[in-house]
Amino acid sequence: MSVIIKTREQEFTDRGSRPLYRIMQDLQLSPQAYLAVRDGVLLTGDERIEDGDVVELISVVSGG
Amino acid sequence: MKCKKCDQKAVINLQHHNISFCKEHFLEWMRVQTERVIQKFHMFTKEERLLVAVSGGKDSLSLWDILWQLGYQADGLYLDLGINDFNNYSSDSAEFTRRFAEERGLQLTSMDIKAQYGESIPEMAARTKRGHTKPCSQCGLVKRYLLNKLALDGRYDAIVTAHNLDDEAAFLFANVTHWSLDYLGRQYPLLPATTGFARKAKPFCQIYERESAAYAILSGINYIYTECPYSDGSKQLRNKRYLNMMEDEQPGFKTQFYLGYLRALKAGAFPQQQESAAKLEEKRCAKCGQPTQSDGLCTFCRLVNK
Ligand code: SF4
Ligand SMILES: [Zn+2]
Ligand SMILES: [Zn+2]
């Protein structure tokens, strides 16, 4: 029973069955800094992430 | 969550505006917002020729796409910095930019800095005192200089850059924490042309970084996701992180911070603005003729001349 959350640098597993924003809160990832994609579709934070889902978090922050 | 306009399932929620959109309505909203900013600051018109600085990243390609969709005459300028030591950053971003322009039939000018001046940006910077670990200040100088030069040479009416709200807020934050009054007086979405300098506009100055990335992803723009290796650990990234923490607590914080500054500037809080422009006009570079603050060569000619 788990879901996979990937960022550019890291991969996390989570128990899932809860909204994306809760998972991001626990991982201390700012919703401002990422866009979430599941199966090629952009997700809002209230979307429930269910068992077997793979969510890619695309970093939107760039700069030097 | 549902789209505010059509009730379909939303793909993005903009907390600071308290709205959600489906793909189609988000893309439309982005074009409307950009056009609004262009009008609000009287940036340019559809009769004028624009030179867009493109890096192959999400912001510049999204902006170029929007300007094109809105019917502006926007050509692109890509500067190849020659940064390929760690991850092919420059050659990949050149390729993303080239393909983007080709797919849309847009006019793109590319300049390979190493081919033109004999050295890549990291190589130029390596000869300077502080630039051999991080070439960013030399890189910024070269980009600013060439963008301006190529805009003037090509008789463009304005230079357009894709600085977004997060870039502007982070720069402002740095300037406020250092109380850099000189910079504070000069940060504005539109800088009119002065002797030797083309007009400069930033139509994305009220667009969040997250929105410009979403625009690229939702409209199928392939952009370079890899970062320049030298941006790692930069102050700008750190400041963006701080501001995002504030934004998470208080949606709209970044907008308030930036727009508040623009109001203060308009109210005359930073009178340095005109003074520094006047100072610049006194001297000219002995080699390229650009207005400069120093005697002899301008900072660009001194850098490439060594
Ligand atoms: S991070 Fe530094 S070196 Fe890289 S493109 Fe930006 S300014 Fe240039
Ligand atoms: Zn809609
Ligand atoms: Zn010069």
Q: CB under 8 Å to A5, separation ≥6 — which residues?
A: A11, A12, A13, A14, A23, A27, A55, A57
- Report the share of chain B in percent with pLDDT over 70: 96
Does B204 have pLDDT greater than 70?
Answer: yes
Rounded to the nearest angstrom, the minimum Cα separation between B42 and chain A is 27
**What is the domain range of residue A26?**
3-59
Residue A35 lies in a domain: yes
Give, to the nearest 10 degrees, the angle between helix B23-40 and helix B58-69: 80
* CB-CB neighbors (< 8 A) of B58 in chain A: 60, 62
- Contact residues of B toward A, CB < 8 A: 1, 10-13, 15, 20, 23, 57-59, 136, 139, 166-167, 170, 208-210, 212-214, 217-218, 225, 227-228, 230-231, 234, 236-237, 240-241, 244-245, 247-248
Which of A26-35, B130-139, B223-232 bottoms out in mean pLDDT, i.e. has the lowest? B130-139
Which tokens sit at B165?
């709200």
State the pLDDT at residue B132.
78
Does B193 have pLDDT greater than 80?
Answer: yes
Facing residue for A35 by CB, picked from B1, B210, B227: B210
Nearest alpha carbon to residue B58 among B206, B224, B244, B232 = B224
Does B278 have pLDDT greater than 60?
Answer: no
Instruction: For residues A15-29, give the mean pLDDT.
Output: 95
Q: If phi over 0 gives left and psi between -120 and 50 gives alpha, with beta otherwise, what is residue A63?
A: left
Q: Mutate which of A27, A32, A37, A55 to test chain B, going by most B C-beta atoms within 10 A? A: A32
* CB-CB neighbors (< 8 A) of A19 in chain B: none
Higher pLDDT, B98 or B273: B98
Instruction: For residues B259-278, give the mean pLDDT.
Output: 79
Residue A64 lies in a domain: no
Spatial contact of B190 and B202, defined as CB atoms under 8 Å apart: yes
Note the ipTM here: 0.96
Residue A30 lies in a domain: yes
Does B274 have pLDDT greater than 70?
Answer: no
Distance, in Å, from the CA atom of B300 to the CA atom of B287, rounded to the nearest integer, reads 10
Does B40 have pLDDT greater than 90?
Answer: yes
Distance, in Å, from the CA atom of B181 to the CA atom of B183, rounded to the nearest integer, reads 6
Residue type, position B132, single letter: H
Atom of ligand 1 nearest to the CA of B228: 4
Spatial contact of A21 and A14, defined as CB atoms under 8 Å apart: no
Query: Does ligand 1 lie within 6 Å of residue B230's CB atom?
Result: yes
Local confidence band at B306 (pLDDT 50, 70, 90 cut-offs): low
Q: What is the CATH number of the domain that holds A23?
A: 3.10.20.30
Local confidence band at B277 (pLDDT 50, 70, 90 cut-offs): low
* CB-CB neighbors (< 8 A) of B246 in chain A: none
Local confidence band at B182 (pLDDT 50, 70, 90 cut-offs): confident
Number of domains in chain A: 1
Place of tokens 């050295």: B119
Residues in chain A, how many? 64
Cα–Cα distances in angstroms (integers) from residue B82 to residues A35, B139, B147, B266, in the given order: 30, 11, 16, 40
Which tokens sit at B80?
């190849």
State the pLDDT at residue B280.
55
Nearest alpha carbon to residue B51 among B162, B189, B208 = B162
CB contact under 8 Å between B210 and A32, yes or no, is yes
Residue A14 lies in a domain: yes
**Please, which residues bridge with residue B49 across strands?**
B73
What is the average pLDDT value for chain B, to the nearest integer? 94
Instruction: For residues B286-305, give the mean pLDDT.
Output: 91
